[in-house]
Amino acid sequence: MGNKIAIVVLADTETNEGLGRVVNALAAAGECKESGDEVHIVFSGTATKWLTQLVKADHPAHGLFEAVKDKIDGACGFCANAFGQTDAVQSCGIRLLADSGPFMSYRQFTSENYQVLIF
């Protein structure tokens, strides 16, 4: 069995740095997936805004997104609501996470011995 990797995307859509971070997150997920690792991707904070961008066929990171879409657990429901993305995230076919009260759980990954990568 490979590694257990959780990738948390926090990058905002507003900067080139954010684009670089989400591209690196998706590329890392793809590398882990191809290596047979157990991979989970979550979008939290302002990163919940990425999903509506990444589903667009003309987005530069769309191919990377499609290659690992099956590894996306979802987006933080609280954060999606806070940034006005609830309906948009759901329209992309991504589920909203609220494992720990109104928030998604980060502890689930550490308690199951995942290596957590934050982008």
Ordered per-residue pLDDT tens for the chain, 119 residues: 689 999 999 999 999 999 999 999 999 999 999 999 999 999 999 999 999 999 999 999 999 999 999 999 999 999 999 999 999 999 999 999 987 677 788 898 999 999 999 99
Residues β-bridged to residue 37 = none
Q: Choose the CATH number for 4-118 among 3.40.50.300, 3.20.20.70, 3.40.1260.10, 3.60.15.10.
A: 3.40.1260.10
- Could you state, in order of their start, the residue ranges of all structural domains in the chain? 4-118
Bridge partners (DSSP) listed for residue 51: none
d(CA 47, CA 80): 9
pLDDT, position 71: 97
- Rounding to the nearest 10 degrees, give the CA dihedral for residues 44, 46, 48, 51: -130
The whole-model pTM stands at 0.94
